[in-house]
Every structure is written in C-alpha cells, then in structure tokens.
Structure 1
C-alpha cells in the first residue's frame, strides 16, 4: 500500500492547487482522477469551455462591433457548431497539457480511477479495468466538484433535452431553445446563444436574475438580454416537459401559457459528485444535493479530511475554489496563509459580462450603513466609445462619512478585469478620493474609477472635505 502525506480526490481547480501547495511544502502528494483526462469540470465541460465558447460567439458573430457598424454586422454569416468547437477544443487541449505538466514538475503522483473511502485514512481506487488499489494518507482533500442536477421528471435525451454540460456535444446550433433556470450558467448560455441569433426563452422562478448581484447591474443586464432576443419569464415554474411528434419540446408553465422550442436545456442547479466516495464509512453525511459541510478552514466533520471547491457549494467559482484548495493544504501542514476570504471577486461571463467585489446596495441598506454611490458609464468614457460598448457601467459604493470604498460593481466589456483595481483599494481600506487623486492611462476603461468617484463626491452635501 502506497502512503502519502496528502491525497487529493479530483483534479479540478481546487484539487490542483491543494496538491501543488502541499508539494511546494515538501510533502508527498497523490491526486486521484476518475476521468481519462485531468482538469475536472472546469477544463472539460464548465468554466474553460463555456468562456471559450463565449469568445468564439463574440468574434464570429461580430457582436462587439455592432454598435459601430450596425446591428446586421457579422464576421461570418453561417456559424456552425464546428466553428464554435474549434476554439473551445484548442483551449481545452492546451489547458489539459498545462495541468499535466504542472503535476509532473511538482512531483505529484497521478492516480487514475474512482476513489472511495475504506476508512478515514485509506482510499480504494477502482480502475477502469475493474482492479483496485488502496492508498493511505495523513490528510485527504475531497475536491470532486459537481455535476448537473438531473431530476427524474425531466426526460433527458442528450440531443434535444440536455443538461448544461451537453451544449457543446450537440451536432447543430439549436434553432430555438428554452433554458430552465436563471442562475449563472443559464444566464451565461442564454446571452451567448441570443448573440448568435438563436431565439431564447429563459425561465426563472425568482423575480429577477441573479439575486445576489446588485439590482442596478441586473437591470442593465436584463435590458441588454431582451434587446438581443432573450424572452425572460420571471416568477415562473415548469410544470411538465414533453417531446412531441413534431420534434419540438413543449413546456407547460405554472402561470403563463405553454411554450415550445427545438431544444431545452435544464439549468437548475448542480449536485456534489460525492455518490461514489462511500462517505458513510468515515461518518461524513452530505446534504440532499451531495454537498459537504466544512468549517472556515475547509475541514469536514473529520478534522484531517478537507473538502474544497464546488462540492461545498456557494460560491462555486474556479477562482475561489483555487484559494480554498491552497488554504486547506496550508492549514493541514501548519503553513501560513493570508487569503482574504472577505474580498472574493465574482465574475459572470454573460454578454455583457458582470463582476463585483464587496457589498451591494441591498446589503448596505439592510445593515443601516450610510453609503454613497458613484457611477461612470462606458458611453461617457473615450475608451467605451472606441470599443463601442454603450451598456457598460462601473458603480462604486462608499461610506458617506469615512469615504471608505465598500463595494465595486461593473457590467460591460472587461468588467471581470476592471474589478481588480477596486479590489486592491478595498484590501487596504482605501477611500474613493484615491481614484480622484490618481492618474489613469488615457483612453482606458480604468478611467471609470475617477469619473465614478467624482460622481459620488458630487452627490454629497457641500462642502466636501477629504477625511485623512
């Protein structure tokens, strides 16, 4: 039986960083992967493919140039699924190679097969041929990720009724599509397909999309989605789904009339991929959605067994999962880790993209914190005019008395990059007058920070005196 200081189950972002961090600390590390390729959902079916698809859509459809050259502008008239998959497959192949090389360089042992617990220090790995091998470790990190929820009453056929992992396996771009679920994945795919000219119906049971995002940002997103051809159904639920003889998918809604489309994608939630782990053998009980509960250091009910990434639930982002994996290994082996879990940025790759860090208006109002608002719109910024983004905006939230920056929210081209300027200032408890006194390159979107800060100051009662 091979023995390790740390065994990691899963090679997604969380598992990768947990393994590499432990290896950097001089530990003997093994990482188990049940698929034939590394990278988990992030590289193979989730984050990387969907973001690569988004870039292919924006490029081939000419979407970014339409505000300048007209709504009919296209780089390619007839876009095929092969066109979209070309870029995606190229990126996936390269990312897989990078991960494999990283494991090799850090002397992390790759173990292929399906892992299950024998006891709290031992794993049995069942290989594709049916044989099994046992491994022992002082510490174990569960980083198995998640998979799409597939309720029994949804008649999935992997062709016209699909889950969120199956879009790129389709043989043709859908002629029309119903997306059930207005979460991050549903919203991203709805806007991508609409940018291609596909009629999209998006159904969500909540009063608006993405309720954890600032309401003003979501209002801008929903307006843009409607303009590019997304029909939104809010406060609505699906009663039944049937594939008719005409080939169309008929959907009965609880309140509105029936609807139909050529394809239906079910995008309501994901479940932790824990069913094969035999967690009962070590006294760990996942919740109804397969997720594992952890403490602030990502320890499960068994202190030397950690869980990180999508398997522990929200926020389930690749960026946060990486830090969780790194933190778990540092904690296990007593190494310092200064990760600021209060300032995690969020990126949503809809069209237009959204990003945020810190508090939103709703949070501040509930906490009775006196806050001010400053807004800059891309159309007021020279760079925004150059790139043709008329939707984008940057919103700053700050304390009215101390001027401390409390939250940054952005929508538009480059929002997920732009957010990190605000994140850095917030990390040092900075004030919005930092942006007023700072020179930004011209023309850039970063100028939005200065414009938004001045807007916020101008809304305050006069005279305004900077707090030192």
Structure 2
C-alpha cells in the first residue's frame, strides 16, 4: 500500500493547484483522475472548451468587425462544426501538455482511475486497465467537479436534445436552438451560437436571469441580446421536450405554448460528481445536487482530514476561485499557514458580450443602507471604442458618499473580464474615487472608461467633495 501526505481526487483547477502547492511544500502527493487525460471538467468539457468555442465563433464570423462593415460581414462564409472543433482540439492538447509537465516538474504522482473511500484515510482505486489498488493519505481533497444536471423527464438523445457536455460533440451547427436555463452556462452557449446566426430562444422559470449581477448591467445585457433577435422567455417552464417526426424538437411550456427548434440544449444546473465515491464509508452526506458542505475558511468537510474545493462546494463555481480554494485547502491540510482569501474576487461570464463584476451590486449597497453614488462610462464614449467599432458596452462603479471608497465595479461589453482587474485591485486596496480621477490611463484604451466613470461619479458627488476640502483646510 502506498502512503501519501495528500491525495487529491480530480485534476481540475482546484485539484491541480492543491497538488502543486503541497508538492512545492515538500509533501508526497498523489492525484487520482478518472478521465483518460488530466485536466478535469475545466479542460475537457467546461471552462477551456466553452471559451475556445467563443473565441473561434467571434473570429470566424467577424463579429467584432461588424460595427464597421455591417451585419453581413463574415470572415468565413460557411462555418461548420468541424471548424469550431479544430481550434478546440489544439487548445486542449496544449492544456493537457502543460498540466502533465507541471506535475512532472513538481514530482506529483498521478493515477488514472476511479477512486472510492474505504475509510477516512484509505482509497480503493480501480485503474483504467482494471487493476485495483489501495492508497492511504494523511489528508484527502475532493476536487471532483460537477456534471450537467439531467432530469428524468428530459429525453436526452445526444444528438438533438443535449446537455452542455454533448454540445461540444455536435456534428452540425443548428439553424435554431432552444436553451432551457438562463444561468451562466446556458447564457454563454446561447449567445455564442447566436453569433453563428443560430436563432436562439432562452427559457427561464425565474422572472429574470443572473440575479447575483447588478440589475442595471443585466438590463443592458438583456437589451443587447434582444436587439439581435434572441428571445428571452422569463417566467416560463419547460413542461415537455420531445422529438417530432420531421426531426425537429418541440418544447411545450407550462403555459401551454409550444416552441419548435432544430436542437434543445438543457443547461439548468449541474450536480456534484459524488455518486461513486462511497461517501457513506466516511459519514459524508452531499446535498440534493451532490455538493459537499465545507468550512469556507479552511475547506474542511465535517470529517477533519477530508477537504473539498472547486465546483463541488457550490457558488461561485469559477475556475479562478477554485484554484485559490485548492491552494488554501492544501496548505491547511499539510499544516502550512494560509492567508484568508481577499474580500473581493472577480466574476466573469464569457457570454457575447462579456460580463464581469467585483464587489457589491447597487442592490446590495441599498440593502445595507450605505449612502452612495454611481459613475457610468459607455464604451462608445472612448476613442478606443470608436476605433474598435463598439456601439455597446458600459462600465459602472459604485462609491460610498461617506468614505469615497469604491464599493463595486460592474462591466458589460468587449474585454470586460480583462478590464475588471483594475477595479478589483482598487477594491481590495480600499481605494477611493480619487484614484480614478487623479491617475493617468493609457490612451486610447477601453481602460480609459475607468477615468470617465470616476469623473462621472466625482461630478455627482461634487457638493460633498467641496465640504471635505473646506473641512481639511
């Protein structure tokens, strides 16, 4: 039997970061991955594939250039599913190669196989070649990720009625698509296929979408989607999904309305991949969606030497936050000091257009009864926006009237997930509106929107600033 300081089940963002962190601290580490290649959901069916698909679609369609050359502009007139897959396969091969090199360089052992608990320190691993072995670990980290939620009433067939994993394997781009679920995954894929001229309808039982995002940003985002002829049906539930004799799909709503499309993508949530771990052997009980409860500071489960990190612990379910969770869990597991995570982290939604946010929303500021003011910048107000042909996009910042500190920054538009980091730094460093007003930003850039937004807020806060200056004198 082989013994390790830390055994990591899963090689996604949380697992890979945890394993490498523990190895760098001189610990003996084993990673168990049931897939045929390392990388986990993030590399093979989640983060990397969806973002690669997005970039490929934007490039081949010439989407970013249509502000100048018109909606009929195309880089490639006929785009196939093979065109989309070609770039994806190259990207995935690169990601796997980098990860395998990281494991080798840091002397992280890894086994391909399925693990299940024997007791709190022992795992039985059925390798891909059928061999079964047992390993023990002082600590064990569950970084097993999630898989698409597949309710029994949806007749998935892997061809026309599919989940988000199966979407990556489709043989042709559909002319029309119904997306059930307006969460992050559903909206990302819905908007990506909209750029490929697929007619998209989104069904969402809630009255709105992306409720954790600032409402003004969501309203701007929704307007952009509807402006390009996407249908957003809120407050509607898919009661029945079926294939029709002509090969199309029909979705019957609870309201009685029927919708027809070439393809149905069911993207209403994900479930933790815990079913085969034999968690009963260690007394752990996942919730109804397979998620595991942890201490948010150490990522320990109710069994002290067993940790969990990444999507398996629930919101925010981001690759970036999963990496930090894995690192913190690994350090705690091997007895190394670990700093608390920063108060604010960026959230990125890789839809078309992108959304990114950090800090408090305007709704949260109101709920806390904090006197505040907002500053808005439209990308079309920047010279860089004109150069890029941007008609849409906005940056919103929220400041405390009492302290002038930045409370939240919210962006929708081109490059939002890159631009957010300026606001993130100012937030975590407790910066004020003065930073944006008094500092110089490269010109012409989209980052100049921070200056415009800061000045907008400063002007609205004018009387207060005059009072502060007088008091200081």
**What TM-score does the superposition give when structure 2 sets the normalisation length?**
0.97
Q: In the TM superposition, what are the counterparts of 1:266-281 in structure 2 within 5 Å?
A: 266-281=266-281
| Partner secondary structure for residue 287 of structure 2 | coil
Cα deviation code 1:229-251 (max 9, x no counterpart):
31110011011111111111111
CA distance in 2, matches of 1:104, 1:359: 41
Aligned pair 1:251/2:251, yes or no? Answer: yes
CA distance in 2, matches of 1:143, 1:226: 38
CA distance in 1, matches of 2:146, 2:271: 5
Match of 2:427 in 1: 426
Does the 8 Å contact 1:178/1:203 carry over to 2? Answer: yes
Match of 2:41 in 1: 41
Does the 8 Å contact 2:125/2:134 carry over to 1? Answer: yes
Match of 1:289 in 2: 289
Q: Pairwise CA RMSD of aligned residues?
A: 1.1
CA distance in 2, matches of 1:24, 1:406: 36
Aligned pair 1:435/2:436, yes or no? Answer: yes
Deviation at 1:67, TM superposition (A): 0.9
Deviation at 1:460, TM superposition (A): 2.2
Unaligned runs of 5+ in 1: none
| Partner secondary structure for residue 190 of structure 2 | helix
CA distance in 2, matches of 1:340, 1:382: 37
Deviation at 1:462, TM superposition (A): 2.0
The more displaced of 456-465 and 306-315 is 456-465
CA distance in 1, matches of 2:317, 2:206: 20
Aligned pair 1:360/2:361, yes or no? Answer: yes
CA distance in 1, matches of 2:465, 2:425: 25
| Partner secondary structure for residue 257 of structure 2 | coil
CA distance in 1, matches of 2:256, 2:444: 47
Cα deviation code 1:194-251 (max 9, x no counterpart):
1110000100111112111011111111111112231110011011111111111111
CA distance in 2, matches of 1:6, 1:384: 49
CA distance in 2, matches of 1:463, 1:271: 50
Match of 1:309 in 2: 310
Cα deviation code 1:173-214 (max 9, x no counterpart):
112110000000000011111111000010011111211101
CA distance in 1, matches of 2:360, 2:381: 25
| Partner secondary structure for residue 336 of structure 2 | coil
Deviation at 1:463, TM superposition (A): 5.5
Cα deviation code 1:103-162 (max 9, x no counterpart):
010000011100000000001001223321000010000000000001111000000000
Deviation at 1:256, TM superposition (A): 5.4
Does the 8 Å contact 1:372/1:456 carry over to 2? Answer: yes
Does the 8 Å contact 1:195/1:228 carry over to 2? Answer: no
The more displaced of 367-376 and 326-335 is 326-335
Match of 2:228 in 1: 228
Does the 8 Å contact 2:343/2:428 carry over to 1? Answer: no
CA distance in 1, matches of 2:340, 2:303: 23
Does the 8 Å contact 1:197/1:229 carry over to 2? Answer: no
Match of 2:397 in 1: 396
| Partner secondary structure for residue 241 of structure 2 | strand
| Partner secondary structure for residue 462 of structure 1 | helix
| Partner secondary structure for residue 464 of structure 1 | helix
Match of 1:189 in 2: 189
Cα deviation code 1:394-453 (max 9, x no counterpart):
100110111000000001111101110011111111101111110111101111111101
CA distance in 1, matches of 2:267, 2:242: 17
Deviation at 1:88, TM superposition (A): 1.1
CA distance in 1, matches of 2:386, 2:340: 37
**What TM-score does the superposition give when structure 1 sets the normalisation length?**
0.98
| Partner secondary structure for residue 285 of structure 2 | coil
Give the 3 Å change call, closer, same or farther, for CA 417–339 of structure 1 in structure 2.
farther
Deviation at 1:335, TM superposition (A): 2.0
CA distance in 2, matches of 1:67, 1:218: 22
Does the 8 Å contact 2:111/2:127 carry over to 1? Answer: no
Unaligned runs of 5+ in 2: none
Deviation at 1:338, TM superposition (A): 2.6
